[in-house]
Amino acid sequence: MRSLAVLLLCCLPSAVFAATASLTDDTAELLLDGSLEYYEESGPALTLEQVRAAPIADEFKPVMQTIVNRGFDITSVWYRIALRNELPLERKVNNWILEFGYPLIDAIDLYWVRSNGAVETTHAGDRRELAPGQIDHRKMVLPLQLAPGESVQLFLRVQTESTHLLNLRVQPPSAFVVKTGFENLWFGIYFGLMLGLALYNFFILLSVRDAAYVYHVLYILSMAALQLDLHGFSRQYLWAGPDWPNVSMPGTVAGAILFSLLFTRSLLETRRHSLPLHRLLDVGLGLTAICFVLAFFAPYSVSMPFNTIVSALVVVMLLTAGVGMLRKGVRAARLYLVAWSVYLVGIILRALEGTGVIAPNLLSEYGTQFGSATVVTLLSLALADRINHEREQRASAQASTSAKSEFLAKMSHELRTPMNAIIGFTQLALRGDSDEAKRLTHLRYIQTASRSLLHLINDILDLSKIEAGKLTLESSRFEVATVLTKVSDLFSMQAATRELQLHVLPLAHGTPAVIGDALRLEQVLVNLVGNALKFTESGEVELRVEETAREHDRVSLQFSVRDTGIGLTPEQQGRLFLPFAQADSSTTRRYGGSGLGLAICRQLVEIMGGAIGVESSLGHGSRFYFTLTFSVAE
């Protein structure tokens, strides 16, 4: 008799249910994945009776994930769980909502086994029509009647070619309504932002006619379409039939990959800056072509995993291109890298939630939307910045061309003046009726005009060499004090003649012998002291050198030239060191000079590793200063 009883028990449906979830809160949702038990089908499809009876009923295993995520696994899997409403009877909470967080599951068979043995069956899935009683929602949402104190056994059979991800939740209708309202608001903001950015960039495209804007608009639209597919909006509002989801999703993924690659090549100008990186992106385009072919002609179980792998590879390619262009000094690469880094963080957070590593939270739930909205916004800014920078460069080039034309006009006058003097006084000196004294006077005028012409030509040649990158610096031992002495000797007579005081103040403890280009240092100091004397009517000019830092065999020296001359306005200071520009166009007529000296000084100082500056106020003199670092000579 005992053996017969055991045999009968084995043939009956399993009465023992290890996995149980209790409903104790009628204001919050309850995540069920971690409480589920599962069984994998290894042969023909099983019926509910078969999985409830031994031996299969005893082979269910506990799910070891916070959220069930089996990846691209086409195995049919049974899940079971017991739900019990633990709320007190007086609360009268009978209605609940069962929600699958991932909307792209192909087929779900649900069996509700009541305590009286009655079985209710529902067939849902994104490749099936809406089941009777199923709530019309972007996700798969089903009503559940469960009175206080009542229990129900839930069996699920899940079969899908898409990601096998459940994210199963039970919640009261009030909590479901609040959450749905928040989600609709968030997605409304998200899709509104994407559409607004697409229109914004489209209207800019109409004016600038730049291919990068075409690719960016198409990338924004493809990214928005991908989010429509991924979060079930396409299934709810757009899809034309049960087979369309398995074509749409791989297609939108391939579209997002394609336009991100084309946009990157255009924004960063990879063909011009780096052919190896350009060819790397070409490899990504080749893989994208395969993605499109598989999307339309291969089963979803083949096309979607392949597209997912390619999208991961393309993200690596895009980041590699961004880093490479940043190293080459491409301006747009900075925002570009920030944009894709933020997007990558969003994807990682979403993946960590899907694998159960982190608990669901606001950032992980909506990580892909945060990331994609950020990436298209920052890329729009990067593109606008590039266009503005190009406009500034064109305006600068036009201004430079205009300035050069004006400079040439001025130089023609400056060159003609000493040349006319040389020719005129040469003709006078060659006349036979001139006495020796007049001839010597004419020769002195010729000598002065020749030196002026030579100085002008040297300035033009120096500036041309600097702009062409052909100027080379010497590296030899010299005494800084010797350079200061030469400058002092050169201008002491001129200062005395004009009744100006010229002070040269070297270091109190003596300047060290250093390694560098003494000739170019002297050239800069001669220009600065010469200008100071030129624009000073009375008072003094001071040349000072100070040690600002010393470390091992390196010493930093600051050179400054101060005068009590006419001074400069802030506007004049802003354009003082620009090539082909002067503080005041009348200075050449009043004081002489080409206006090139300070531009040459700035570029010489920068070539020597320093920077030149000025402090001045109109009518109160000026102070020009620069700091250079030298190696101390043994």
**pLDDT tens sequence across 439-477:** 787 787 777 778 767 766 776 777 676 666 667 788 899
Q: What is the pLDDT of residues 53-79, one digit of tens each?
A: 989 999 999 998 888 888 888 899 999
Q: What is the pLDDT of residues 357-415, one digit of tens each?
A: 666 666 767 778 888 888 889 888 888 888 888 888 888 778 767 766 766 666 666 67
* Whether the Cβ atoms of residue 75 and residue 41 lie closer than 8 Å to each other: yes
Instruction: Please report which confidence band the pLDDT of residue 567 belongs to, taking 50, 70 and 90 as the band edges.
Output: confident
- The pTM assigned to this predicted structure is 0.64
Helix-strand-coil split of the chain, %, nearest 5: 55, 20, 25
Do the bridges between strand 20-23 and strand 77-85 make them parallel or antiparallel, or are there none, so unpaired? parallel
Residue 37: name the closest of 23, 53, 57, 54 by CA. 57
Give kind and range of the element (H or E) at residue 485.
helix 480-497
* Whether the Cβ atoms of residue 121 and residue 111 lie closer than 8 Å to each other: yes
What pLDDT shows up at residue 634? Answer: 75
Position 584 pLDDT exceeds 60: no
Amino acid at 513: A
343 contact partners, CB below 8 Å, separation of at least 6 = 315, 371, 372, 374, 375
CA distance 229 to 557: 66
Position 607 pLDDT exceeds 50: yes
Residues in a beta bridge with 38 = 61, 79
* Whether the Cβ atoms of residue 354 and residue 340 lie closer than 8 Å to each other: no
Position 583 pLDDT exceeds 60: no
Using DSSP's 3-state secondary structure scheme, residue 165 falls into: strand
Using DSSP's 3-state secondary structure scheme, residue 92 falls into: coil
Residues in a beta bridge with 629 = 556
Sign of CA dihedral 342, 346, 347, 348: positive
CA distance 451 to 443: 12
Angle between helices 245-268 and 300-327 (to 10 degrees): 10
Sign of CA dihedral 201, 203, 204, 209: positive
471 contact partners, CB below 8 Å, separation of at least 6 = 462, 465, 604, 607
Q: What is the pLDDT of residues 294-319, one digit of tens each?
A: 988 888 888 888 988 998 899 999 99
Q: What is the mean pLDDT of residues 605-632?
A: 90
The percentage of residues in the chain with a pLDDT greater than 70, rounded to a whole number, is 85
Angle between helices 333-354 and 367-430 (to 10 degrees): 170
266-270, 356-360, 449-453, 505-509, range with greatest mean pLDDT: 266-270
Residue 597: name the closest of 586, 589, 605 by CA. 605
Amino acid at 529: V
CA distance 198 to 196: 5
Token pair, residue 112, equals: 């509700």
The percentage of residues in the chain with a pLDDT greater than 90, rounded to a whole number, is 33
Evaluate the omega torsion of the peptide bond into residue 55 and state whether it is cis, within 30 degrees of 0.
yes
CA distance 270 to 324: 9
Sign of CA dihedral 161, 165, 169, 173: negative
